[in-house]
Chains A and B, each alone.
Chain A
Amino acid sequence: MSVAPQPTAYVNARLIDPASGHDGLGALLTSGTKIAALSSEPVPTDLPDGTRLIDCGGHVLAPGLIDMRVQLGEPGAEHKDNIASISRAAAAGGVTSVVALPNTDPVIDDIALVEFVARRAREVKLVKIHCTAAITRGLRGEEITEMGLLRAAGVLAFTDGTQAVANALVMARALEYATTFDALIIQHPEEPSLAADGVMHAGELSTRLGLPGIPAETEIIMIDRDLTLAAMTGARYHAAHISTAAAVERIRQAKADGLSLTCDTAPPYFALNELAVGDYRTFAKLSPPLRAEADRQAVVAGLADGTIDLIASDHTAQDQDSKRLPFDQAEPGATGLETLLQLTLELVHNGSLSLIQALAKLTCRPAQLLGLPMGRLAVGTPADLVLFDLDRPGKIDTEQFHSKSKNTPFEDRLVQGRILRTIVDGRSVFESPDS
């Protein structure tokens, strides 16, 4: 048994709790694995004996980030990332809860795999690793998984991860069946028959580069179908990584009409557009693809007005052999755990979002959606925290990445914000080497 961490007081901190909207100087006391007290005095005088003091220097202390879409790599692709490297990357990125996609090999479609991931996470013991499970067995899009048993085993939601459930009947049954367990169904919204062999956004640039395109309409078609099915079944539906203006507008309208649905996006879709593909840069090959500038702007607007509920990293490690290929043959995906906070803070620094709004999309919103007890600064909740310098300028340096793979389209990007410390269950799991 591990020893409970020593009571620790984080003093002189700018406490931000997006769930309550609180933002002010104060102190936070942890005891064991939980938040024990909150104080509006920067340095409280009534601390229990033996309390360790950590001076936050006026920097932001917020709930640790909850990243609801991460590819673990383990089992099956441990050379790209494994649970240990993912955990270190998450800790370095201020992410205290990782939610894994089922796109492993074998697929997470059975409780044995859920237990395997939980055991490995316990062994590594850095950040919390939760699972989503496949909607369909083997991600084949045919038979639904044992949702009840998987839910009981701790699975937070169901998704076929990086591929859409294409068959409307299978999706209808999955949504219908999921209502029995109040399970959340997450879709990769892309109509595969229209996306066909496309490898980037369909438009002028794909035409110039001679690459087959994925029309923006692939996203809205799938969302339209799913909204109809969700309304029919009453299921909880979430659309992953929204990338197009049309989809943002449709979801905005659906929410205004009272439909209960949620969606997210990932940093590449608000921080980059298709031009990042440039001269066949495979690090900018993503799924969904980077879209046009108008789409990027619509995604930012959707984040600002709440149409897009939250932000996930879409962390997908790819080794060199999967990326150093002609563009059409390269694997899609980019790492994201270690750039999630800085890129989201860009939206704060450029005035698109308030700091509270931005942090909410990384903390309390995913917690609410997935039914997790953390993501807030509240007494009695898990002491999962991130301490960061909001303004410190820096550059994204892949040499510093803890992920086994370095495939990011953001290399050398100038950013503002640095993670100083990450705390999970009251224990520091990351400290910036030069904080």
Chain B
Amino acid sequence: MKFRCERDVLVEALGSATRAVSTRGGALPVLSGVKAELKGDSLVLTGSDLDLTIQVSVTVAGEADGVAVLPARLAADIVRALEPGAVHVEVGESEARIASGRSHFGVRLLPADDFPRVADAPADEVTLDAGALVEALRQVVPAASHDDARPILTGVYMTAEADGLRLVATDSYRLAVRDLSGVSVLAEGQSVLVPSRALGELARLLGDAGEVSLRLGERDATFEAGEFAAGGGSGTGTRLTTRLIEGQFPNYRQLIPESSANRLTVGREPLLDALRRVKLLAREATPVRLSLGPDGVELSAVTQDVGQAEEGIDAKYEGAEMVIAFNPEYLADGVEAVEGDEVSLETTDALKPAVVRSVERGDYLYLLMPVRVS
């Protein structure tokens, strides 16, 4: 394999593909590598940890076809460190030579035969607006769990609703629900559970892509953006393949309260700013307290032996005066995810879930359990 390519093109492609490369060595050493496959002028880079695979295709000046697996982090670090300009890559028997200007590197290869094959995606594909999907993912993915002890909760539940697609995620402390109306990806009654890590990467990869295609297999989901060139085509694009999570997502509907007695309406930015300040004094897992009353809301935090903070915000409040406490990060995640200038916070009492939503839009809901304070 031999090709020439602009440094910046290669830096970006390596950066994307290596995001799927497993960070903890693991049982299969070859997974610490990135696979490079050249056919004509099309170079496909693949990184994988078996659960998640990211492939990037770019157009280069190809001289000799071939396949090789390079140590991913090292290759990315080398290319990033080079001076801007053309990079020459040539792969020999056991070594890849990377050169630019007067810099020359020789890097030992990993055994290409050991690299896992990427599952073939089914032919049926649906196309989604990438911008809308990215926005929805940004709102839902943070609510998913990172705790591998409950694998089901590490996924985002994608389910067909009457007029579109619904995304749901929960880590059992909060729950985010987002509807994408008019998007029919799944057949009625169909649902899949997609690892949130993969969707987080997808949102990052899509960037300013216009459209994204989705193909659902038995065990995998494949997302593609741009002109991904597989098997000899040419073009610049990205493909992300993720294993699906098996199992029954919890019955989230029964968790959402039908109505709430108290409702706070407050500016999104002022609330986020105040939270950002007050949480400086909410250390060692202490919560931020919200005192809700006719004058609005006052945020406060006390950390024993450290200090305390208070801040009042003008807001509209209908309901009984009450104090309710939240993990400030969880509350900020929900408020941040809301679209629009104003958010509403609906509560029942200090031990029941609160609902955060946009005042202007009804397509997003964030349910948050309070912190019980003694």
A, B co-complexed: no
Contact surface of A with B, Cβ cutoff 8 Å: none
